[in-house]
Structure 1
Amino acid sequence: MNNLGYAILSSLGRKPCSGYQLVGHLEVIWPAKHSQVYPLLTKMEKNGLLEFDYIEQSGKPDKKVYSITEKGRKNLEKWVTESPSDFIIRDEFLVKIYSIWLSDEENAKKLIQDRISKLEKTVALRDENIARIEQTHEKNGLEMTSKNFGRYILFNRRSMLDKEEISWCKWVLNLIEKASLNNLLLGIIVGKLNIIIQDMVLIT
């Protein structure tokens, strides 16, 4: 089974949910599309790792709510103790940043400002989830054995990383603006030098 399968087991091990809900829960650990998740759910159910209940809905199609089986739980427990493979980051934004020298200043700044805007919205939503978890466990605290513990620390990790990237994006914007200002000043100086040279030529 691939890592997405174990991510599904991890999420369903916390609580049963539909395929649609599952895609949302996976965002924090292993983002995946519906087209990837649904076929794998079917395969995992056939292999006895998952089971589902049909839930009737008024005015909506009936839905399947999946939950982890004892076999799935044992597979997950065994997998959790194994050393993870090296992680890989694939981010289109980073590729564009790597080739930002091909862009003009306006488009370069827009690329970064759009990233900041998206990150700020994501951080705000995630911080709301963090606050809800903290509020739920306010009296007794959040223990490692709680099913929400892993979710809580991962939410905080992503939030910290996103906030750090926002700071980095602002640093890059400042770098671009400084370079632009230096080029402007250089242009003014060169322009003035040309005028002085022309005046000297006329005088001579």
Structure 2
Amino acid sequence: MMNTLGYAILSALGRKPCSGYELAQYLDAVWPAKHSQIYPRLTKMEQNGLLIFEEVIQTGKPDKKIFSITDKGRETLEKWVIESPSDPIMRDEFLIKVNSIWLSDEENAKKLIQDRISDLEQKVAFRTDTITELEQKHRGDTMSKHFGRYLLFNRRNMMDKEEISWCQWVLNLIEKSNFNMSKLTLWMLGAGKLNLIIQNMIFVSEI
């Protein structure tokens, strides 16, 4: 059974063949995983026909395997990309879907982004009411037991508002481009802003 790490690997290989080491570096930005997690998954995916590898002989250092996605792997990734992502956790599969958005069509690509905006707006509205309550409870007292939660709720709202702005920017690009991804190269244009979102997306539990 495929897990999200497997889809993240397919997402990387869908763009270009990679060694296991290169995959680990790539995944660090979207779905961090250890080598001990990546290599067993690669073996299982190769056995299931989702990827293939070519062994490269190197002089003076260990040989390496270069992995490539297969037609079956691409079809698996294409079906997964258009599914609605799970609620965000510390590893957010939405970011992997965005990275593979070139496999989608305009309707599904826009739905992916619009659903994200709707979800974030609901959470921001809920937290805004809670923030007001917490503000009354701690009353500026930094030693209050409510102060930390007040800070975290504000942090999450600031992060989500920034992501909403980014999502709207993405929708604008999609609408203007008629979703011709080969010309738009959305992933490349959005890399700077996406990386900023990724770096700030270290979510905390809302207790």
Q: TM (normalized to structure 2)? A: 0.49
Structure 1's consecutive aligned runs of 4 or more residues displaced over 3 angstroms after TM superposition are 145-149, 160-165
1:58 aligns with 2:95: no
1:31 aligns with 2:55: no
Aligned equivalent of 2:42: 41
Aligned to 1:58, what secondary structure does the other structure show?
A: coil
Aligned equivalent of 2:86: 85
Q: For residue 149 of structure 1, what is the amino acid of its counterpart?
A: L
Aligned-residue CA RMSD (Å):
2.8
Aligned equivalent of 1:157: 194
Change beyond 3 A, Cα 1:13–1:163 = closer
Equivalent residues, number: 115
| Cα shift readout 1:4-39 (whole Å, capped 9, x = no counterpart) | 100000000000010011000111211111111000
Change beyond 3 A, Cα 1:33–1:152 = farther
1:28–1:154 Cα contact (<8 Å) kept? no
For residues 1-204 of structure 1, what are the structure 2 equivalents within 5 Å? 1-89=2-90, 144-145=181-182, 149-150=186-187, 152-159=189-196, 162=199
Distance 2:74 2:185 in 1: 16
Distance 1:75 1:47 in 2: 11
Aligned to 1:28, what secondary structure does the other structure show?
A: helix
Give the number of the structure with larger relative contact order, counting CA–CA contacts within 8 Å between residues 6 or more apart: 2
| Cα shift readout 1:156-190 (whole Å, capped 9, x = no counterpart) | 2222564899xxxxxxxxxxxxxxxxxxxxxxxxx
Q: For residue 4 of structure 2, what is the amino acid of its counterpart?
A: N
Distance 1:147 1:50 in 2: 27
Q: For residue 14 of structure 1, what is the amino acid of its counterpart?
A: R
Q: CA deviation at 1:61?
A: 1.0
1:28–1:155 Cα contact (<8 Å) kept? no
| Cα shift readout 1:118-165 (whole Å, capped 9, x = no counterpart) | xxxxxxxxxxxxxxxxxxxxxxxxx63369633552542222564899
- Identity among equivalent pairs (%): 57
| Cα shift readout 1:26-81 (whole Å, capped 9, x = no counterpart) | 11211111111000000000000000000000001111000000000000000001
1:11–1:25 Cα contact (<8 Å) kept? yes
Change beyond 3 A, Cα 1:145–1:29 = farther
Distance 1:147 1:36 in 2: 34
Q: For residue 31 of structure 1, what is the amino acid of its counterpart?
A: P
Distance 1:67 1:30 in 2: 19
1:6–1:76 Cα contact (<8 Å) kept? yes
2:90–2:201 Cα contact (<8 Å) kept? no
Distance 2:78 2:24 in 1: 22
Listed as ranges, the gaps of 5+ residues in structure 1 are 91-99, 102-142, 166-204
Distance 2:38 2:183 in 1: 26
1:14–1:148 Cα contact (<8 Å) kept? no
